[in-house]
Amino acid sequence: MTLTEEDRIHFKAVAASAGLEYRLVKRAKILLALDAGQSHAEICRTMGVSTATIWRWSTRYGTKDNAPLNDAPRSGKPRIIALETHQRIVQLACSKPTDGYSSWSQRRIASHLGVSQSTVQKVLANHQLKPHKVAQWCGKSPDPEFEPKMLEIVGLYLNPPENALVLCVDEKTQIQALDRTQPELPMRPGKPRRQTATYVRHGTVSLVAALAVHDGKITAQPIERNDSAHFLAFLKHLVRKYPHKHLHLIVDNLAVHKHASIQAWLRRKRKVTIHFTPTYSSWLNQVEIWFNLLTRDVIKGGIWKSREQLVTQVTTYIKAYNRDRAKPFIWTYSGSKNDFETKKL
């Protein structure tokens, strides 16, 4: 059999999909294999299907059915949802809830309209509506200089000047040193480690950190307050640590980073250049990626008896990270708006 070019493109997309039903993917692969000239015996062997299955879907395609990958209509009287009910469910699901709720649930829609929850579920599924879910996106930056600032930062990532060191600098504030009111129960087969929902707070820790973009090493210090004095002290520490390098510092637009004392100090330092990310574009700062790792590896689920114990653990983690895991981050982008991924070598 021979597929049309349009069907061939469609079936290839279905066969490569990781989100569609497995039965649809397998049917698309069968038709593509037939189109490529493979024999029934070869398809049976490689895909684990029967000859009858191959005949069924090749015949369905031969009849030019409108949906050659879908099941044929089954016998029996179909369940009918009145058009008015159908429209009311969709309209309500797309409207703002009342009584202080932020989103609709299938159960509350059903109760509000006096229909069954299964009816609501079918209508919403038919329209691919999920009122209980909220998706977020990175909105367009209002910064009129977004493009030159972005290109400047990406240029430093891809092609840094000679004898320069690119450092992404930022603070992670209000890390809580939490202890639990009861001892933690260890993990055992079928059960995760368990902690009480009640806790005792032993203060908070703020951390200022710099990521060396091209080797992945972290320099960090705990700070008492996130103010210009502590930030300036950290910048001076970086200058002392890298005395023979021209430092290019990538920071966000926090007022602390633009304080008059910082600007005055920078004017006296020819080997320190600061680069601000565009407004609402902190994602350009790669140290944010490392902060996510810190949250996952250390902060989430941690138990500390004191603020000092938290500081000690964070410091130990940074030393181990620099010794065993530090590598440059790589951003990959394949062309889709939803396909922006950051990974490590």
What value does the mean pLDDT of the chain take? 89
What's the CA gap between 162 and 189, in Å, rounded? 55
What's the pLDDT tens digit per position in 269-294? Answer: 999 999 999 998 888 999 999 999 99
Q: How far apart are CA 172 and CA 268, in angstroms?
A: 28
Say yes or no to pLDDT of 261 above 80. Answer: yes
Q: How far apart are CA 258 and CA 262, in angstroms?
A: 6
In this predicted structure, which of 71-75, 152-156, 325-329 has the lowest mean pLDDT?
Answer: 71-75
Taking 70 as the threshold, does the pLDDT of residue 339 lie above it? no
Q: Where along the chain do its domains lie?
A: 5-62, 98-135, 146-184+197-344
Torsions phi, psi of 132, nearest 5? -85, -10
Share of the chain above pLDDT 90, in %: 62
Tens of pLDDT, residues 168-223: 999 999 999 999 999 999 988 888 999 999 999 999 999 999 999 999 999 999 99
pLDDT value for 345: 38
| Token pair in block for residue 67 | 């949906």
Domain 146-184+197-344: give its CATH superfamily.
Answer: Ribonuclease H-like superfamily/Ribonuclease H (3.30.420.10)
Go through 145-172 and write b for each residue having 16 or more CB atoms within 10 A of its CB, e for each that does not.
Answer: ebeebbebbeebbeeeeeeebbbbbbbb
> How confident is the model at residue 344, as a pLDDT?
46
Q: What's the whole-model pTM score? A: 0.68
Residue 237 pLDDT > 60, yes or no?
Answer: yes
